[in-house]
Structure 1
Amino acid sequence: MSVRYPASFLVVLVTMAFSGLCSRSAGQVAPREAKQWVMPRTPDGHPDLQGNWTNKTITPFERAEGQGPVFSWDQVATLEGRADARVQRGAQASDPSRPPPRAGRSTGGYNNVYIDRGDRVAIVHGEPRSSLLTHPSDGRRPPFTHTGEQRIADYRAFRRQFGTYDNPENRPLGERCIMSFGSSAGPPMIPNSFYNNNYTIV
């Protein structure tokens, strides 16, 4: 007695067999060798830095006295753990029944939605650096020269001849939304431990 199979069953059987052959063939193809990354360059040969960047980090600008150039991994875990805990505290819901703040205190302006100070230590060549400043070798900012101190004094004397709000030009560029406020405006562009640490280079 002959056994008959419906046409649909034969179609499925042939399809499965063909798929198996294709899978085996695909598995036998040698993988392509990974291409070595090449730094993109501008037409004049300089490194092409176009793109979106951030320099937010909890690594301090200056190194603490007595601290070596590299954090231990235990120190990294402590610092990053504190940063994570701060974010978690800031994300907690506010108590609607809490009492009002004391007179003269800030009623609150920014919360975690607006703040992006960073939560990780900067890693360079696999090492967690203890400061962004690397020269001088102690990672600490040298004192101002006499010329530098005089320039600061001259600037402050110039500013004192104007009232705080006499002219819009007297207000900081960050307040006028012309540049970012603080150190992130640059040059050099240094993280300000608050926000606006993102850049688009075109």
Structure 2
Amino acid sequence: MRRALVLALALTTCLATAGPGLAADPAPAPSGTVAAGSSIPPKGWKAPRNAMGQPDLSGQWSNATLTPLTRNPRISSKATLTAAEARGFEKLWAEALAESDAPTDPNEGTAEVQAKLSSSKLVEIRPDFIAAGGDTGGYNTFWIDPGTHLVEINGEYRSSILTTPNGMPAARKAGAPAPRGGGFRDIYDSYENRSHGERCISGFGRNSGPPMLPNGYYNNNYQIMQTPDAVVIEVEMIHDARIIRLNATHRTDGLRPWMGDSIGRYEGDTLVVETTNIQEQQQFMGSWKTLTVTEWFTRLSPTKILYRFQVADPQMWDAPWGGEYTFNTLNGRVYEYACHEGNYALAGILGGARRIEKDAAEAAAKAPAAAAAAKGKTGGQ
């Protein structure tokens, strides 16, 4: 659970790379500092129940994984890999990460840092890691903790989280809004224009969801707590508490809470969650107003929870689509992600913008006088 010392880098893995993948039937199918173990339970094992008789999902979990949201041909063009293929890729990843995990030379400029990253094995496998270099040098891969294993479900190793045939989202309807990301980078009028991650309101990825997705970089840790009336998922990044109301109905007051309005129910050994009323500022690939996200949480083994999701928006996609991965037991616990709104960085960003505006205004005011002086020196020619 490493903490980055600078502002979080932009998420490319989930939102820029992301199928009619899940059937409507929610019946369940029989990876950092994460406990290893297969999703196939030991012989005779039964999914545990808590004191309230609910399927026991409580505890500390991580969804860190090397499996990207959408299929990456650098990993495989197939939906699944053999155990040998998976181990080979994980070994290649570990070597590439170790190669890039060198101390940063304080005398190197941004161009030199980016050049080294661009030619590294790490970026060859994951091009989005070029963002780690940042516009000002960023930070090295010591701070990166994306996981060490591919997703394994029922003995199959997955090349993508999405379960669509091509490992990509469903086709977008004609005229549907394009996916939106960022938009705040060069807008400095107000703190309200800055990103949620920068303002410490929510994580820079989709860790809190819904759908809940690993961000591909670090801090992919969770704590799940259960009560008779609710399930609470504490999200390390960025200290969100996602509250799922059990056996309830969706709100009708028009309010759109952070992370949407989630209601849940237990079906056998599975927690089923449906979320609507998602905020525009937390849109998923351009969808929010008529977006419905359905999620299934099923305990697979002593060390794994199967997480599946489906997104549906009749105004956005031709059909519902989704994916699946596993939460894995965390060897440790989730501590506070020490991010706080209104810190020095935000004040510095806005203060720097005001200084640039002031300098530009002063230069513009001096321009007429300078032009007049020059004209006088040349005799009006």
- Mark the CA change 1:74 to 1:144 in structure 2 (over 3 Å): closer, same or farther: same
Structure 2: which 5+ residue stretches go unaligned? Answer: 1-42, 115-134, 226-381
Answering whether residue 185 of structure 2 is matched by residue 185 of structure 1, we say no
Question: Does the Cα contact within 8 Å between 1:68 and 1:130 map onto a contact in 2?
Answer: yes
Aligned residue in 1 for 2:316 = none
RMSD: 3.4
Answering whether residue 83 of structure 2 is matched by residue 78 of structure 1, we say no
- Mark the CA change 1:46 to 1:173 in structure 2 (over 3 Å): closer, same or farther: farther
Q: What secondary structure does 2:94 align onto? A: helix
Deviation for aligned residue 1:94: 5.5
Aligned residue in 2 for 1:39 = 48
The letter of the residue matching 2:198 is E
Q: Deviations over 1:23-79 (max 9, x none)?
A: xxxxxxxxxxx9844423473x54332221111111121235783321133431332
Question: Does the Cα contact within 8 Å between 2:47 and 2:55 map onto a contact in 1?
Answer: no
Answering whether residue 170 of structure 2 is matched by residue 142 of structure 1, we say yes
Deviation for aligned residue 1:119: 1.9
Question: Does the Cα contact within 8 Å between 2:144 and 2:217 map onto a contact in 1?
Answer: yes
Identity, % of aligned positions: 35
- Mark the CA change 1:40 to 1:174 in structure 2 (over 3 Å): closer, same or farther: farther
Q: What secondary structure does 1:184 align onto? A: coil
Aligned residue in 2 for 1:50 = 58
More helix by share: 1
Separation in 1, partners of 2:45, 2:199 = 45
Separation in 1, partners of 2:156, 2:210 = 26
Question: Does the Cα contact within 8 Å between 2:103 and 2:140 map onto a contact in 1?
Answer: no
Separation in 1, partners of 2:88, 2:156 = 16
Separation in 2, partners of 1:141, 1:62 = 8
Separation in 2, partners of 1:48, 1:111 = 39
Structure 1: which 5+ residue stretches go unaligned? Answer: 1-33
Separation in 1, partners of 2:140, 2:174 = 41
Separation in 1, partners of 2:55, 2:167 = 27
Alignment size in residue pairs: 158
Aligned residue in 2 for 1:9 = none
Separation in 2, partners of 1:112, 1:180 = 19
**Pairing of 1:1-202 with structure 2 (within 5 A):** 36-41=45-50, 43=52, 46-64=54-72, 67-93=77-103, 100-101=108-109, 106-134=135-163, 136-146=164-174, 149-150=176-177, 152=178, 164-202=187-225
Structure whose alpha-carbon radius of gyration is higher: 1
- Mark the CA change 1:142 to 1:35 in structure 2 (over 3 Å): closer, same or farther: closer
Deviation for aligned residue 1:178: 1.5
The letter of the residue matching 2:158 is R
- Which protein has greater RCO, CA pairs closer than 8 Å, 6+ apart? 1
Q: What secondary structure does 2:143 align onto? A: coil
TM-score when scaled to structure 2? Answer: 0.36
Separation in 2, partners of 1:51, 1:93 = 35
TM-score when scaled to structure 1? Answer: 0.62
Separation in 2, partners of 1:126, 1:103 = 44
